[in-house]
Amino acid sequence: MSTTETVAGAAGEASQKGMPQLNFATWPNQVFWLLVALVILYIVMTKIAMPRIASVLAERKGKITGDLAAAEELKSKAKAAEKAYNLALEQARVEAAKIIVATKAEIQKDLNAAMADADAQIAAKAAESEKRIAEIRAGAEQAVGEVARDTAGALVAALGGTADDAAIAAAVAVRLKG
């Protein structure tokens, strides 16, 4: 140890003039403490700091990838939902069109039936009316004949003639036809 001291002492005196960097007496001391510092730093880095940072970075990377994948999945899900919606809409349209057609046909059927019914009723009523008109007409012709015979008989009697009913009836009948 005493030799180290004398060397260091002598070097210390010399170092007052030259560059302290080239005072080799201080080198063992510098090297020793530098190695201590580097070893401590290496331990701090490798044992604590770097594994932590690496795990955080890996975690972040994983999270980003996971989130992106989830977003992709949700996007595809949304697309599928949209497709399903469109499909349902299309089906509903077709269904609605079918219902419209069916309803129209049904209504047409009902309408036709009702029309036929009404036509039949109208025809029946018309036939009945015609019959009645015919009856009335027949009755009226008969009444006209009677009135004409009565009137003709009365006229003949008033004019002083005598006429048998048969002759009057024949004459009236001829007139009525004319």
Residues in touch with other proteins (CB under 8 A) = 1, 4-5, 8-9, 12, 15, 18-23, 25-38, 40-42, 44-46, 48-50, 52-57, 59-60, 63
Give me Rg for the CA atoms of the chain.
Answer: 67
Q: Give, as one character, the DSSP assignment of residue 178.
A: -
Alpha-carbon gap, residue 52 to 63, rounded angstroms: 16
What is the nearest approach in angstroms of other proteins to the Cβ of residue 52?
4
Structure tokens at 98: 């079918």
Compute CA distances 169 → 132, 143, 150, 153, whole Å: 27, 13, 9, 9
Nearer to other proteins, 38 or 107 (CB): 38
Alpha-carbon gap, residue 168 to 156, rounded angstroms: 9
Nearer to other proteins, 67 or 146 (CB): 67
What is the nearest approach in angstroms of other proteins to the Cβ of residue 63?
6
Nearer to other proteins, 23 or 171 (CB): 23
What is the nearest approach in angstroms of other proteins to the Cβ of residue 18?
8
Nearer to other proteins, 66 or 139 (CB): 66
Nearer to other proteins, 27 or 85 (CB): 27
- 3-state SS assignment for residue 163: coil
What is the nearest approach in angstroms of other proteins to the Cβ of residue 25?
7
Q: How far is Cα of residue 105 from the mean position of the Cα atoms in its chain?
A: 25
Asked if residues 15 and 23 have their Cβ atoms less than 8 Å apart, the reply is yes
Structure tokens at 26: 């201080």
Alpha-carbon gap, residue 60 to 63, rounded angstroms: 5
What is the nearest approach in angstroms of other proteins to the Cβ of residue 30?
4
